[in-house]
Chains A and B, each alone.
Chain A
């Protein structure tokens, strides 16, 4: 010990040294990077970032860009439907697996394996399955229904549903796993009491078990939503944003503006809007999750 009274700074010195990477990441990259992007979203940066402020110009341009509006609409449709479907399908699958069935592990392994695959792989497989000439549609035509057409990847009106099918295939396994863990956490006595009272099983699920699983649902909701906002690779692989701009999404808008169109300001404004969306979802959740505990 060099100093007689070790100053506050040197207490736990090793722990502080060991935490330097974490502190740098948190402060420089996460906090600094975010602030940097937000600040530069008010400039007219083009090829290179420069600090010439233009107020809300970039945002006005963003919200009058047709491509951005299509992106937002797609994300809204994809987001709402994938939330609803993945929660419903995930919960139903978990409830089925929770019936003390045989081969539970096998079924769970099958439902979850797509989650191990990347969005790129998922997108490419479904691009092939949904191929209008050689894919599933052709098989159905071959069965005798000759007028059958289902070509979501080439029809601008329904392309986002084609992406949704792939997204659900990849992601429901995770929801199922989280729900299954939630169901396993329900006290067996609840089930016994419900059975003694003669409450039918579906009613027990709907009115007793699901309300009890509220925390699990909220966590899952936050996780799915955070994932939805990031939707990018799947679209790139499956449709490349096409046909035309029919399946563009915000994350792709950001990338294309920053790295292809050399319109950095637009990219910064668009990514700040994405940040805002996440914040709107995240802050109430964080308040409920952590703010509540402190008070209690």
Chain B
């Protein structure tokens, strides 16, 4: 690592540049990689156990060890979790919750990003008196425990007749997605060179013209970050789902919890784990596909807490 090249002397010129190669099995490397691998195994363990358990039959689970791979692979638990598992009186499995979650997530993501990107753009390029004050309230709002705002929103939704509906939940998600997304877009648009904006104004472009023709196409990467952030966040939400929907409109997380933690009947651990994986699958797939963008999203979204 230490790159001490001394170009003046002839001896130095002959010497190879760069770090001195270390033996691959130096003590330092063994400790370093050893620790990392052990920690990585610990982090992977729950995922492994989830998958393995979901592929076993119940007799095998009762006898065996949770780490052992299935002797007989069965997909029955997956089928049951998806289509037959019961929550209360409904016995149509997680599929209902899955489709509810899709119907919640898609419009919430689209609406919250559309609103927040325009807001961020207005805050960055079209400041007006008071705009910063509203923005500050918005950001502080992101830190207020949701519990404080739960009931007032129940009243608001009841007043407009949307309490318990998917539309109501979409509105709630759009509201609570706003602080972090607005911050994300405002910071992005603020970094766009001002000359570009001024040139467009001189050419007679207005608020919407500049947004649609200049800002929007330039901001595509940040849109992807915002989508990742929102899809995982909304898909994983539990609190809003349980407060603002009814059993037939429950999102997937709420339904999953009801299936697994129901006190009736015999516990079927394999079905429970299959259901758990299915619920975690959407954010996991997004995570593994998006890679670095996800990291960027959470670094920005970390503000959400």
Chain A contacts of B216 at CB under 8 A? none
Select one of A19, A29, A105, A192 contacting B141, CB under 8 A. A29
Give Cα A126 to B45, complex, Å: 11
Contact (Cβ within 8 A) A116 B287: yes
**Segment from B47-55, B160-168, B193-201, B218-226 that makes contact with A:** B47-55
Chain A residue at smallest Cβ distance from B228: A116
Instruction: Report if A109-B236 is in contact (Cβ < 8 Å); known contacts: A22-B115, A138-B65.
Output: no
Contact (Cβ within 8 A) B129 A8: yes
Contact (Cβ within 8 A) B46 A223: no
Give Cα A46 to B182, complex, Å: 37
Contact (Cβ within 8 A) B140 A30: yes
**Total A-B residue contacts, Cβ distance less than 8 Å:** 260
Give Cα A8 to B129, complex, Å: 9
Q: How far is the CB of B141 from chain A (nearest CB, A)?
A: 3
Contact (Cβ within 8 A) B238 A116: no
- Assess whether A121 is interfacial by the CB under 8 Å rule: yes
Give Cα A231 to B64, complex, Å: 34
Interface string of A96-125 (1 = CB under 8 A from B): 110111000101111111111111110011
- Assess whether B212 is interfacial by the CB under 8 Å rule: no
Select one of B49, B61, B122, B143 contacting A19, CB under 8 A. B122
Contact (Cβ within 8 A) B257 A120: yes
Query: What is the interface of chain A mostly: helix, strand, loop, or mixed?
Result: helix
Chain A contacts of B49 at CB under 8 A? 125, 128-129
Give the contacts of B254-305 with A (CB-CB under 8 A).
256-257, 260-261, 269, 272-273, 276, 279-280, 283-284, 286-288, 291, 294-295, 298-299, 302-303, 305
Contact (Cβ within 8 A) B207 A126: no
- Assess whether A268 is interfacial by the CB under 8 Å rule: yes
Q: How far is the CB of B50 from chain A (nearest CB, A)?
A: 6
Contact (Cβ within 8 A) B149 A29: yes
Query: What is the interface of chain B mostly: helix, strand, loop, or mixed?
Result: helix
Give the contacts of A21-77 with B (CB-CB under 8 A).
21-23, 25-34, 36-38, 40, 49
Chain A contacts of B283 at CB under 8 A? 116-118
Q: How far is the CB of A285 from chain B (nearest CB, A)?
A: 9
Give the contacts of A167-188 with B (CB-CB under 8 A).
169, 173-174, 177-178, 181
Chain A contacts of B305 at CB under 8 A? 222-223, 226-227, 230
**Segment from A144-152, A207-215, A270-278 that makes contact with B:** A270-278
Chain B contacts of A40 at CB under 8 A? 151
Give Cα A112 to B123, complex, Å: 33
Give the contacts of B130-170 with A (CB-CB under 8 A).
131, 134-135, 137-138, 140-141, 143-153, 155-156
Q: How far is the CB of B237 from chain A (nearest CB, A)?
A: 8
Chain A residue at smallest Cβ distance from B65: A139
- Assess whether B83 is interfacial by the CB under 8 Å rule: no
- We find that the number of chain A residues with CB closer than 8 angstroms to chain B is 98
- Assess whether A1 is interfacial by the CB under 8 Å rule: no
Contact (Cβ within 8 A) B273 A96: no
- Assess whether A134 is interfacial by the CB under 8 Å rule: yes
Give Cα A31 to B137, complex, Å: 7
Select one of A11, A101, A232 contacting B32, CB under 8 A. A101
**Segment from B8-16, B33-41, B72-80, B88-96 that makes contact with A:** B33-41
Instruction: Report if A120-B253 is in contact (Cβ < 8 Å); known contacts: A37-B152, A125-B49, A195-B2.
Output: yes
**Segment from A78-86, A156-164, A253-261 that makes contact with B:** A253-261
Contact (Cβ within 8 A) A107 B36: yes
Chain A contacts of B32 at CB under 8 A? 96, 99, 101
- Assess whether B66 is interfacial by the CB under 8 Å rule: yes
Instruction: Report if A22-B182 is in contact (Cβ < 8 Å); known contacts: A14-B207, A177-B299, A278-B144.
Output: yes
Q: How far is the CB of A8 from chain B (nearest CB, A)?
A: 7
- Assess whether B202 is interfacial by the CB under 8 Å rule: no
- Assess whether B118 is interfacial by the CB under 8 Å rule: yes
Give Cα A55 to B175, complex, Å: 32
Chain A residue at smallest Cβ distance from B115: A21
Give Cα A2 to B89, complex, Å: 63
A–B Cβ pairs within 8 angstroms, 30 of them:
A12-B207, A15-B126, A16-B122, A22-B135, A22-B178, A29-B156, A31-B141, A33-B153, A36-B152, A99-B32, A111-B43, A112-B294, A114-B43, A119-B238, A120-B253, A124-B257, A125-B46, A125-B50, A128-B269, A136-B66, A177-B298, A192-B2, A219-B302, A230-B145, A233-B238, A254-B147, A255-B147, A255-B239, A264-B151, A278-B143
- Other 12 A-B pairs with CB < 8 A, given A116-B284, A119-B236: A19-B134, A21-B119, A29-B152, A31-B137, A115-B298, A116-B280, A118-B253, A121-B280, A128-B273, A181-B299, A255-B147, A255-B150
